A and B are shown apart, each in its own frame.
Chain A
């Protein structure tokens, strides 16, 4: 891509906001469902298929991101900030892949049916081992909190750039087209 490019490609921005909305919904569903007896069932029935949908979207999104590349960082950013921004993008991608895989994997290790909708369910991806389930189940929680705080940091950094530095960083990923 040329150095004149101000924004990520439209498809990148589309996937960013789509996946972002689903991730936020998943984090809220996840934290709420384990603390509610009344809402547990409908929330987890949504959590499972939505997690798999997210896995698919993130896979397509990453391929698309690698294909298109991205615009330059604003010149206000120091080399350390650029490094932080790049590594946080990598961390978020890793978490977005690992979270659904751990969820799928833990249910596999427990041999719990991985129901999607109707009679559709997924095959197990790990051997039947409940100790492995117990470890992955904890991992799923810890990674969930890590992902949430990664989101908060991401949101905070964007706010900082938009409200304090006012350097137009947000426009790189704005849902609308910048002219």
Chain B
């Protein structure tokens, strides 16, 4: 009690005590500066070369141009709606509510793997499909797939380096072939994926495309058993080899899938591929050996299609780490990076006013 009062009595309110405590004042200043510096260090302020979410999205804008309001990648797209009908077999590997027998609504988006929102459709451009499964308990599973059977980039740095190597020249609007060759020479996994892609003749349209999830996720069933899984959407629509893009129709792939869905529902089977011990889970560029057990867990039906304008799907961030209980991320370094970069891209475009999309509401009504 009252231990401190003798000292304070000497002090007038608001004045420094006698004895010129400048050393101690300086000490406080240094300590506070250290605290502030540590905080900014954590925020990457002193690591100008670290690949962060913001620098990654800057990379897209630098390499391919800035298109406000559009997704920084897979910029061109149409939105779809439908449902997933589970047959219950998925419960063997995951306790996710989605796999209980029955139907859940989905929204989705077909896209081309390019940052250019008006890129002319062509068979060789990677095709994307994002599907958001909306479960009865309010959980969601947001998935992203492309039509490449193997991913070209093993980590975010490789993806970024490829982006820089394929940056469009501001004058010619073409990438520099020398830089691209150098990238492939130093990234054998990317050269391998390119080879696989070239040996697979793409299909004629979005609706008969097989879409690959590529990255492994850990599925956990009701007994707590964890299995690494990759999934594929296999179309019911029969495969027809792609022909060259028709002259003068820059949107023929999108028009095709719009017309197809307006005529009749289109369907895919969700196939889970179950890993065996030793199959890599941290490398989307490494295929799993052929003959792994596959489980057909249900049918995806898309029966509605809409232009991005006015579609709630336009503003969905297909973050691959929006997962239901029963599915969790693997140790693949792409996952956390994609989640972070998608979030940054989403934040930027959410605050921007977008020009009209390539596929307009008028294209859907036709």
User: Which residue of chain B has the shortest Cβ distance to A41 in the bound complex?
Assistant: B336
Which B residues are CB-close (under 8 A) to A115?
A: 322
B351/A119 in contact, CB under 8 A? no
A146 within 8 A of B: no
B4/A166 in contact, CB under 8 A? yes
Point out the residue from A28, A119, A128, A163 that lies within 8 Å of B24, measured CB to CB: A163
Task: Please provide the chain B residues from 1 to 40 with a CB less than 8 Å away from any CB of chain A in the complex.
Answer: 1, 3-5, 7-9, 11, 13-14, 16-17, 21, 24-25, 27-28, 31-32, 35-36, 39-40
B336/A35 in contact, CB under 8 A? no
Least distance between B263 CB and chain A CB atoms (Å): 31
Q: What CA separation (Å) do A64 and B36 show in the bound complex? A: 31
User: Which residue of chain A has the shortest Cβ distance to B319 in the bound complex?
Assistant: A112
B14/A32 in contact, CB under 8 A? no
Task: Please provide the chain A residues from 150 to 176 with a CB less than 8 Å away from any CB of chain B in the complex.
Answer: 152, 155-156, 159-160, 163-168, 171
Point out the residue from A31, A159, A165 that lies within 8 Å of B39, measured CB to CB: A31
Which B residues are CB-close (under 8 A) to A67?
A: none
Q: What CA separation (Å) do A77 and B139 show in the bound complex? A: 54
A163/B341 in contact, CB under 8 A? no
Point out the residue from A110, A134, A155, A167 that lies within 8 Å of B317, measured CB to CB: A110
Question: Could you pull out 30 A-B pairs where Cβ atoms are within 8 angstroms?
Answer: A31-B40, A34-B52, A34-B54, A35-B42, A36-B44, A36-B50, A37-B52, A41-B321, A41-B329, A41-B336, A74-B4, A75-B8, A75-B13, A76-B13, A81-B13, A112-B319, A113-B139, A119-B97, A119-B137, A121-B139, A133-B350, A134-B347, A152-B32, A156-B32, A159-B28, A160-B28, A165-B7, A166-B4, A167-B8, A168-B8
A38 within 8 A of B: yes
Which A residues are CB-close (under 8 A) to B25?
A: 164
Least distance between B242 CB and chain A CB atoms (Å): 35
Size category, A interface: 35 or more
Q: What CA separation (Å) do A121 and B324 show in the bound complex? A: 10
Least distance between B65 CB and chain A CB atoms (Å): 21
Least distance between A76 CB and chain B CB atoms (Å): 5
B17/A38 in contact, CB under 8 A? no
Task: Please encode chain A, from 54 to 78, with 1 for each CB lying within 8 Å of some chain B CB and 0 for all others.
Answer: 0000000000000000000011111
B347/A35 in contact, CB under 8 A? no
Q: What CA separation (Å) do A138 and B8 show in the bound complex? A: 44
A137/B347 in contact, CB under 8 A? yes
Point out the residue from B17, B138, B317, B337 that lies within 8 Å of A40, measured CB to CB: B337
B333 within 8 A of A: yes
B4/A112 in contact, CB under 8 A? no
B346 within 8 A of A: yes
A179 within 8 A of B: yes
Point out the residue from B31, B44, B54 that lies within 8 Å of A159, measured CB to CB: B31
User: Which residue of chain A has the shortest Cβ distance to B96 in the bound complex?
Assistant: A119
Q: What CA separation (Å) do A178 and B330 show in the bound complex? A: 51
Q: What CA separation (Å) do A128 and B321 show in the bound complex? A: 21
B339 within 8 A of A: yes
Additional pairs, 18, CB under 8 Å, beyond known A111-B316, A119-B97, A121-B138: A27-B39, A28-B39, A31-B42, A32-B42, A34-B54, A35-B50, A44-B339, A74-B4, A110-B317, A110-B346, A112-B322, A121-B139, A128-B312, A137-B351, A152-B35, A152-B36, A155-B35, A168-B3
Q: What CA separation (Å) do A112 and B156 show in the bound complex? A: 23
Which A residues are CB-close (under 8 A) to B324?
A: 119
Which A residues are CB-close (under 8 A) to B17?
A: 164-166
Task: Please encode chain A, from 13 to 53, with 1 for each CB lying within 8 Å of some chain B CB and 0 for all others.
Answer: 00000000000000110011111111111101000000000
Task: Please provide the chain A residues from 60 to 103 with a CB less than 8 Å away from any CB of chain B in the complex.
Answer: 74-81
Which A residues are CB-close (under 8 A) to B217?
A: none
Task: Please provide the chain B residues from 306 to 351 with a CB less than 8 Å away from any CB of chain A in the complex.
Answer: 312, 315-317, 319, 321-322, 324-325, 329, 333, 335-337, 339-341, 343-344, 346-347, 350-351
B53/A34 in contact, CB under 8 A? yes
Least distance between A84 CB and chain B CB atoms (Å): 11
A39/B336 in contact, CB under 8 A? yes
A167/B4 in contact, CB under 8 A? yes
A131 within 8 A of B: yes
B14/A80 in contact, CB under 8 A? yes
Which B residues are CB-close (under 8 A) to A44?
A: 339
Point out the residue from A41, A78, A148 that lies within 8 Å of B340, measured CB to CB: A41
Max chain A Cβ within 10 angstroms of own Cβ: one of B8, B25, B321: B8
Which B residues are CB-close (under 8 A) to A168?
A: 3-5, 8
